[in-house]
Each structure stands twice: as C-alpha cells, then as structure tokens.
Amino acid sequence: MNKRKRQGKPKRKLNIRVCLIVVFAAYLSYTLCGQLVSLRQSAVRVSQLEAEIAEAEGRLAEVQDLDRISKSDAYIEKVAREKLGLVQPDETVFVDVSGR
C-alpha cells in the first residue's frame, strides 16, 4: 500500500505542474493577443497622424507662397485695382453709364 501512495503523489504533482504550465501559457497567449491588438491600433493611429502632418505641410507651403506673393508690388497693385478701385495718377478712367 505504501507503494501505491508513493506512486499516486508524483502523478498529482505532475498534474498540478501541467495545469500550472497550461494556465501560464494561456495567460501569456491572452496577454500577447492584447498587445498585438494594441500595437495594430497604434500603427493605424501613426498612419493617420502622418497623413495629417503631410496635409498640414502642404497647407503651410501654400500659405508661405501666398505670403511671399502678397509682398510683391504686382500683387499689391492688382488688389488695389480690383478690390479698392484705385488707379494710377496718369491713367484715364472710363465709366460705363449705360447700366448694362
């Protein structure tokens, strides 16, 4: 009978060890899957932010071009003529009075 008891205990220890290893492996798998999902979400967010940065850089270039152009004499004269109705001192102005 003593032999049976001795033989029974190692089987229990073996079963407990196997159960602990299985539980630990399941925990690692669960954690790894969670981390992979989080990593994919972060990668998508990074892609979105890079697209926004590229768009903002494009708008910045347009604004810088407009700023450079707006400081030129030709642009200032064009705006003065079109929006303010100003003319040069030596120019003759014709006004259409027919109303058409």
Distance between CA 34 and CA 93 in Å, rounded?
76
pLDDT digits (tens, 9 = 90+) for 71-94: 888 888 888 888 888 888 888 888
| Residue 69, amino acid | I
| pLDDT at position 21 | 93
Torsions phi, psi for 64 (to 5 deg): -65, -40
Q: Where do the domains of the chain lie? A: 2-82
Q: What amino acid is encoded at 70 in this protein?
A: S
Position 11 scores a pLDDT of 61
**41 near 33, Cβ under 8 Å?**
no
How confident is the model over 1-43, as pLDDT tens digits?
455 555 545 566 678 888 999 999 999 999 999 999 999 999 9
> Is there a contact between 69 and 75 (Cβ–Cβ < 8 Å)?
yes
Separation of alpha carbons 23 and 29, rounded Å: 10
